[in-house]
Amino acid sequence: MKKILIIESIHNHGIDLLKGNKNFEFQVVDNTDTEFLKDKIKDCDGISIRTSKLSKEIIDSAKNLKVISRHGVGYDNIDLKATKQNNITLAITATANAQAVAEHVLFMLFSIAKRNNMYNETVKTGKFSDRTKLPKTIELWNKSILIAGFGRIGKCLLKKCKGLEMNIFVYDPFVSEEEIKKVGGTKINDLNESLNKMDAISIHMPLNENTKHLINYEMIKKMKKNCILINAARGGIINEEDLNKALNEDLIFGAGLDVFEKEPPSLDNPLLKNEKAFLSPHSAVFTEECLSRMGIETVQNIIDFFDNKLEKSKIVKIS
């Protein structure tokens, strides 16, 4: 019988896959203290993890560990070197969250373009008659959007933007022009040269040494005045200090962030008080439907691993 540790609670639909399965015993823990996890993980065959840190110290203490199933698609909270050194397979929920994140991007785009906070507040504070004095909103129809990163989420967003009749451009060095053209997009080869043509830019890249602070003040200066910048990928891809400065200088129309360099962000982070920043608490996947899918896929990946059925597309290749 394989021993499974669920680190941080997941949707009951995922837990139900383990209940009554004679091949597994499991425990759910929400304590993510290092010493606690070192003790709990030491004889486990498989674990799932959400956003807490899985350090080398913790991984090295798990002598029987064979598979880590990440509840999500990012894995910057996991020590990859230790994972590889211990010959542990790392799996992600590759198919579960694309719809929810793509919808969240549109939610942010519409909220910023239509000045949701300002217009809502105007009515609720009894200033309805001031509607003609309010700053004007903008349409998304026939606007150009750049999707930076064309994995499952980027592809899903493209489909939704087509419904809005937007002009869709894609930047991803690892995806061919033919593949992008086939689904209705136009491939961009040089990110810098395309910035001044875009009305919206949505980031869908992993965070690594090449993408850390990729979007900085100099890049934002190249964007159109009416551009809306969205990041629902990973905090740190956008330099937050530079973004705040750019927003204060009205270099772009607005920005939407679901992710931050430090989570939770410090209360003195100036973006929290910037009226041109629309923020959410790393919650793009927090729909009932998505959390159910993620819980199921997280556990199914563990089961499939031990049944030798785990799809290669869900396994992270650690270099």
The set of catalytic residues is 234, 263, 282
Contacts of 228 (CB under 8 A, 6+ apart): 109, 112, 113, 199, 200, 201, 252, 253, 254, 255, 256
Nearest-angstrom CA–CA distance, 255 and 136:
17
Tokens for 298? 């997280």
Three-class DSSP category at 246: helix
**What is the end-to-end Cα distance of the chain in Å, rounded?**
31
Angle formed by the axes of helices 98-113 and 116-124, nearest 10°: 60
Three-class DSSP category at 49: strand
> Sign of torsion, CA 312 313 316 317?
positive
Contacts of 64 (CB under 8 A, 6+ apart): 3, 42, 43, 44, 45
Omega before 264 within 30 of 0, i.e. cis? yes
Q: Is 203 within 8 Å of 238 (Cβ atoms)?
A: yes
